[in-house]
């Protein structure tokens, strides 16, 4: 009887995979419109229907430091109709909060999509022009500088908290609900400094609305080679890379995950899309689901260690 039941379930699952997709897919983004996470989702939502034959609807679910959107995705049926746009905060959320989901257990990785540095940027009116100047000013004026982030546990927050821990500085955290409002206030001088994803702030640097102090990766970025790294500019050993990826729900039939991986990587590695993403300051690194799974597990372990050793906490 058990053997018969297993066969019936297997056959049903295979049939579902073969008829997939028969309705629109939902792509959940736990961030508001305007940042690269949203841009990536909309690129894929525009391209995937060309071969899948079904629409892909982007569903922005910001709030709760990405927990709201992440929980919604985790609790979705494992039928291949839910995509999830993850970024670096996905790998740290469990180290800062108690959650109803497990990022490595409740999700099925599809592909890593891209990586980029964060840029350390400042309002043009601040009295320093480089990392050493920022450190000196912050130490001489503890608590007088404010830095913006897009919420607790985001790459902006973690980048600056790690910077503070490694430099012994006191800079006040001001959390926003997204990159766009944070950058708007940074340009207006309501906050003075910020780490943000390269695509979100590099255009403002080039327009003279912000000044760039450093990139967060250990090496300089090909997108802005004139900007030094935090490591070389005065904080040896500092290194933060921001990543973006696509996942679905754990338990989704492997045939569907394989198809989603094939279609997504094909789109991301196509010359036109790759160039379009590169122009925004992101390196495309699409690969196998297995590679992304290993990468994600390593990121979860790495950030758990950093958060513990640096004493980083959610405000």
102-130 per-position pLDDT tens digit: 999 999 999 999 999 999 999 999 999 99
Give the pLDDT confidence score for residue 306 in this predicted structure.
Answer: 86
Catalogue all structural domains in the chain, each as residue range(s) with its CATH number: 24-116+241-310 (3.40.190.150), 117-233 (3.40.190.10)
> 296 vs 35, which has greater pLDDT?
296
Q: Please compute the mean of the pLDDT values over residues 29-50 and round it to a whole number.
A: 94
Q: Around 18, how many Cα atoms within 13 Å sit in the side-chain half-sphere?
A: 6
Mean pLDDT of the chain: 92
Model pLDDT for residues 208-242, shown as the tens digit of each residue: 999 999 999 999 998 899 999 999 999 999 999 99
3-state secondary structure the chain: CHHHHHHHHHHHHHHHHHHCCCCCEEEEECCCCCCHHHHHHHHHHHHCHHHHCCCEEEEECCCHHHHHHHHHHHCCCCCCCEEEEEEHHHHCHHHHCCCCCCCCCCEEEEEEEEEEEEEEEECCCCCCCCHHHHHHHHHHCCCCCEEEECCCCCHHHHHHHHHHHHHCCCCEEEECCCHHHHHHHHHHCCCCEEEEEHHHHHHHHHCCCCEEEEECCCCCCCCCCCCCEHHHHCCCCCCCEEEEEEEEECCCCHHHHHHHHHHHHHHHHCHHHHHHHHHCCCEECCCCHHHHHHHHHHHHHHHHHHHHHHCCCCC
- The residue-averaged pLDDT of 266-270 equals 98
Closest CA to 231 of 129, 126, 117, 311: 117
The model's confidence at residue 310, banded by pLDDT at 50, 70 and 90, is: confident
Say how far apart CA 153 and CA 69 lie, in whole Å.
Answer: 14
Looking at residue 3, its pLDDT comes to: 53
> How does pLDDT run across 116-169, given as a tens digit for each residue?
999 999 999 999 999 999 999 999 999 999 999 988 888 999 999 999 999 999
pLDDT tens column, 177-196: 888 999 999 999 999 999 99
pLDDT above 60 for 13: no
- Predicted model pTM: 0.82
At 8 the pLDDT is: 47
């Amino acid at each position: 009887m058990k053997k018969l039941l297993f066969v019936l379930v297997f056959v049903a699952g295979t049939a579902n995979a073969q008829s997939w997709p028969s309705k629109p897919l939902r792509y959940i983004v736990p961030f508001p419109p305007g940042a690269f996470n949203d841009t990536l989702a909309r690129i894929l939502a525009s391209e995937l229907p060309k071969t899948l034959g079904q629409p892909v609807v982007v569903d922005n679910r910001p709030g709760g430091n990405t927990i709201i959107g992440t929980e919604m995705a985790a609790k979705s049926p494992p039928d291949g109709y839910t995509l999830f746009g993850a970024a670096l905060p996905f790998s740290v959320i469990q180290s800062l909060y108690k959650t109803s989901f497990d990022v490595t257990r409740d999700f099925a990785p599809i592909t890593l999509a891209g990586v980029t540095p964060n840029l350390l940027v400042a309002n043009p009116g601040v009295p320093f022009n480089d990392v050493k100047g920022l450190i000196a000013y912050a130490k001489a004026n503890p608590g007088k500088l404010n830095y913006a982030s897009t919420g607790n546990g985001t790459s902006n927050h973690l980048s600056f908290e790690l910077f503070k821990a490694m430099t012994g500085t006191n800079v006040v955290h001001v959390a926003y609900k997204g990159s766009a409002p944070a950058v708007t206030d940074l340009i207006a001088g309501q906050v003075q400094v910020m780490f943000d994803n390269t695509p979100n702030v590099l255009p403002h640097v080039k327009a003279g609305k912000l000044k760039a102090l450093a990139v967060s990766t250990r090496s300089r970025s090909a997108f802005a080679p004139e900007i030094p790294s935090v490591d070389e500019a005065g904080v040896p050993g500092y290194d933060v890379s921001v990543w973006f990826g696509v996942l679905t729900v754990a338990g989704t039939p492997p045939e569907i995950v394989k198809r989603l991986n094939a279609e997504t990587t094909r789109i991301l590695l196509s010359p036109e899309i790759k160039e379009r993403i590169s122009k925004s300051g992101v390196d495309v690194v699409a690969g196998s689901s297995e590679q992304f799974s290993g990468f994600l597990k390593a990121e979860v372990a790495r950030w758990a260690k950093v958060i513990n050793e640096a004493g980083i906490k959610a405000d």
